[in-house]
Structure 1
Amino acid sequence: MLNSKLFKVNFDFPAKGLLVFLFVFVVASNSLFAQQDAQYTQYMYNTVSVNPGYAGSRGQISIAALHRSQWLGLEGAPTTQTFNIHSPIGYNGLGMGLSIVNDKIGPTSETNFDVDFSYTIMLAAERRLSFGLKASANLLDVRFSELNQYTTDQTLQQDIDNRLSPNIGAGVYYHTDKFYAGLSVPRILETSHFQESSLSTAKEQMNFYFITGYVWDLNPFLKFKPTLLTKVVQGAPLQVDVSANFMFNERFIIGGAYRWDAAFSGMVGFNINSNFLIGLAYDRETTELGSAAFNDGSFEVILRYDFISTKNNLKSPRFF
Structure 2
Amino acid sequence: MKGFLIALLFLLALYNAQGQQDPQYTQYMYNTQIVNPAYAGSREVMSIGVLGRTQWLSLEGAPQTGTFTLNSPIGVSKNMGLGLSIIYDQIGPATESNAIVDYSYSIQLARHNISKLSFGLKAGIDLLDVDYTKLNIYDPNDPFFQNTVDNKLQPQVGAGIYYHTQKFYAGFSVPNFMNSTHFDEGSLNDADLESIAVERLHYFFITGYVFDLSSNLKFKPATMVKFVSGSPLQWDMSANFLINEKVALGASYRWNSSISAMAGFQISPSMFLGVAYDYDSTSIKDYNSGSYEALLRFDLFHKTDKVLTPRFF
- Shared fold, TM over 0.5: yes
**1:303 corresponds to which letter in structure 2?**
L
Cα displacement (A) at 1:154: 2.7
Other-structure match for 1:10? 2
Q: Deviations over 1:155-204 (max 9, x none)?
A: 22212110011110000000001100000000001011233432345322
RMSD (Å) for aligned C-alpha atoms: 2.1
Q: Does the C-alpha gap of structure 1 residues 298 and 23 become closer, same or farther in structure 2, counting only changes over 3 Å?
A: closer
SS in 2 for 1:86: strand
Cα displacement (A) at 1:318: 1.9
Work out whether residues 117 and 161 of structure 2, in 8 Å CA contact, stay in contact via their aligned partners in 1. yes
Q: What TM-score results when the alignment is normalised by the length of structure 2?
A: 0.91
Cα displacement (A) at 1:314: 1.7
Alignment of 1:1-320 (within 5 A): 10=2, 16=4, 20=7, 33-34=17-18, 36-90=21-75, 91-125=77-111, 126-152=114-140, 153-195=142-184, 196-198=186-188, 199=191, 200-201=193-194, 202-290=197-285, 292=286, 294-315=287-308, 317-320=310-313
Cα displacement (A) at 1:25: 8.7
SS in 2 for 1:155: helix
SS in 1 for 2:60: coil
Work out whether residues 274 and 316 of structure 1, in 8 Å CA contact, stay in contact via their aligned partners in 2. no
Q: Does the C-alpha gap of structure 1 residues 22 and 51 become closer, same or farther in structure 2, counting only changes over 3 Å?
A: closer
Structure 1: how far apart are the matches of 2:99 and 2:301? Answer: 26
Identity of aligned residues (%): 50
Structure 1: how far apart are the matches of 2:247 and 2:155? Answer: 40
Structure 1: how far apart are the matches of 2:8 and 2:270? Answer: 49
Q: Does the C-alpha gap of structure 1 residues 228 and 24 become closer, same or farther in structure 2, counting only changes over 3 Å?
A: closer
Once the two structures are overlaid, the 10-residue window that deviates more, 159-168 or 76-85, is 159-168
Work out whether residues 85 and 98 of structure 1, in 8 Å CA contact, stay in contact via their aligned partners in 2. yes
Structure 2: how far apart are the matches of 1:217 and 1:309? Answer: 29
Structure 2: how far apart are the matches of 1:316 and 1:70? Answer: 35
Question: Which ranges in structure 2 are unaligned for 5 or more consecutive residues?
Answer: none
Structure 2: how far apart are the matches of 1:106 and 1:24? Answer: 9
Q: Does the C-alpha gap of structure 1 residues 50 and 22 become closer, same or farther in structure 2, counting only changes over 3 Å?
A: closer
Work out whether residues 10 and 91 of structure 2, in 8 Å CA contact, stay in contact via their aligned partners in 1. no
Tell me the number of residue pairs that the alignment of Structure 1 and Structure 2 aligns.
Answer: 302
SS in 2 for 1:193: coil
Structure 1: how far apart are the matches of 2:49 and 2:276? Answer: 15
Q: Deviations over 1:216-267 (max 9, x none)?
A: 0111101110000000001111100000001111101100000000000000
Q: Does the C-alpha gap of structure 1 residues 22 and 88 become closer, same or farther in structure 2, counting only changes over 3 Å?
A: closer
SS in 2 for 1:165: strand
Deviation beyond 6 Å, 4+ runs, structure 1:
none
Structure 1: how far apart are the matches of 2:217 and 2:308? Answer: 15
Cα displacement (A) at 1:24: 5.4
Structure 1: how far apart are the matches of 2:269 and 2:9? Answer: 48
Structure 1: how far apart are the matches of 2:98 and 2:12? Answer: 28
